[in-house]
Amino acid sequence: MLNSPIASSLLLFVILITAIILGVAIGSVPIPPRIIMDLILNRMSITNITIEEISKYSTILFDIRMPRVALMALTGAALATAGATYQGLFRNPLADPYLVGVASGAGLGATIAITTNLNSDPLGISIITIAAFAGGIITVGIVVMTARVSKTTPVTTMLLAGIAIGSFATASTTLLMLRRPDGLQRAFNWMLGAYLGGGWTPVKIMIPYMVLGSLFIFINARALNVFQLGEEQAQQLGINVERLKIILIAAATLMTASAVAFGGLIGFVGLIVPHALRILTGPDYRRLLPCCLLGGASFLVLSDLAARNIMAPQELPVGIITALTGTPFFIFLLRKLKRSVF
């Protein structure tokens, strides 16, 4: 365990930078790091190198690789941070960002868009994305309202409502797919986290959700620590429990919904990254949450790198990679650890 919060954040920051460099350098057309450097300096108008060899990489770097790596970093950061938040809020180590119905709702939204052959691209992004985002938010709204018992939202009721309404949405998704088998492949790919492109637009749309969501979560990090003593004790320590729950659920849900909308249903990141990092940083949410932001980003950038390259030219949905690599790593950590992580 790294005791210094600065040391663990610094280590994760170095890992993230390395992951990003690898992510933009490696691909069907490898870009040497030296050229990446020149191109970035050129773009920032610090240098002005106009060699043919360099400019042919420009489009690949700035219009294809960079936005994709940035999107993956944001998605991973969102899922890991939301996952840690839900685990703390529900005091349940099995909680993940999809727990309260975001995933199944987003899945239903995306499937409706795919099977009804909606093909317009308002805002320059796929309608699938918009439908997924709306589906996720609407479903969580229904779950929270269902679980509300006279001004309070008991955690267990909320989990059960999430499971029930999530199952309903999943069943509806399956029904739609069976009725329109021509959309099956696309819907299936989206669900496993196939990259849909879109250049920098998804990144620009995601950033406000990320900034706002993490801001609300980070300022409540110490309250999340108090929450580990149970709701009643948190209340006796002066925490406004109901308000905190709503703020954190809203923040984590917005982050998750934007991640799911652009990245599809990428599993394991929100569950495994926070647990792996707890082993590194300890349980204090003030240390854990920033580490989740960095660690989640690195994990997804590296997973996406693998997804693009191991079966090239065929691209794998990144969800397959996160599950295949995340699970053995997690089992290794669990076996090595003597105490319970959570």
Residues interacting with another protein, by CB under 8 A? Answer: 91, 219-220, 222-223, 225-226, 228-230, 232-233, 235-240, 278, 282-284, 286, 339-342
Which position has the token pair 């993230």? 16
Is residue 78 within 8 Å of residue 136, measured between CB atoms?
no
Amino acid at 175: L
* CA–CA separation, 208 and 216 (whole Å): 12
Shorter beta-carbon distance to another protein: residue 17 or 334: 334
265, two tokens:
């249903």
Shorter beta-carbon distance to another protein: residue 235 or 309: 235
Instruction: Please count the CA atoms within 13 angstroms of the CA of 180 that sit on its side-chain side.
Output: 16
| CA dihedral over 293, 294, 298, 299, signed as positive or negative | negative
Shorter beta-carbon distance to another protein: residue 23 or 213: 213
Long-range contacts of the stretch 196-202 (C-beta < 8 A, 24+): 196/126, 196/128, 196/129, 196/262, 196/264, 198/67, 198/124, 198/125, 198/126, 198/129, 198/262, 199/63, 199/67, 200/67, 200/70, 201/123, 201/124, 201/125, 202/67, 202/71, 202/125, 202/129, 202/262
Shorter beta-carbon distance to another protein: residue 42 or 92: 92
Shorter beta-carbon distance to another protein: residue 52 or 232: 232
Cβ atoms within 10 Å of 107's Cβ, excluding its own = 28
**Residue 79 CB, nearest approach to another protein (Å):** 22
193, two tokens:
């986290």
**Residue 233 CB, nearest approach to another protein (Å):** 6
Shorter beta-carbon distance to another protein: residue 3 or 50: 3
Shorter beta-carbon distance to another protein: residue 3 or 45: 3
**Residue 91 CB, nearest approach to another protein (Å):** 7
**Residue 142 CB, nearest approach to another protein (Å):** 25
Shorter beta-carbon distance to another protein: residue 121 or 284: 284
Residue 296 phi/psi, 5-degree rounding, is -65, -40
* CA–CA separation, 193 and 91 (whole Å): 28
**Residue 225 CB, nearest approach to another protein (Å):** 6
Cβ atoms within 10 Å of 231's Cβ, excluding its own = 18
**Residue 191 CB, nearest approach to another protein (Å):** 34
Closest by alpha carbon to 316, among 326, 306, 325? 306
**Residue 340 CB, nearest approach to another protein (Å):** 6
What residues form DSSP beta bridges with 152? 149
Closest by alpha carbon to 203, among 252, 262, 250? 262
* CA–CA separation, 16 and 9 (whole Å): 10
**Residue 238 CB, nearest approach to another protein (Å):** 4
Is residue 156 within 8 Å of residue 143, measured between CB atoms?
no
Shorter beta-carbon distance to another protein: residue 42 or 235: 235
**Residue 274 CB, nearest approach to another protein (Å):** 13
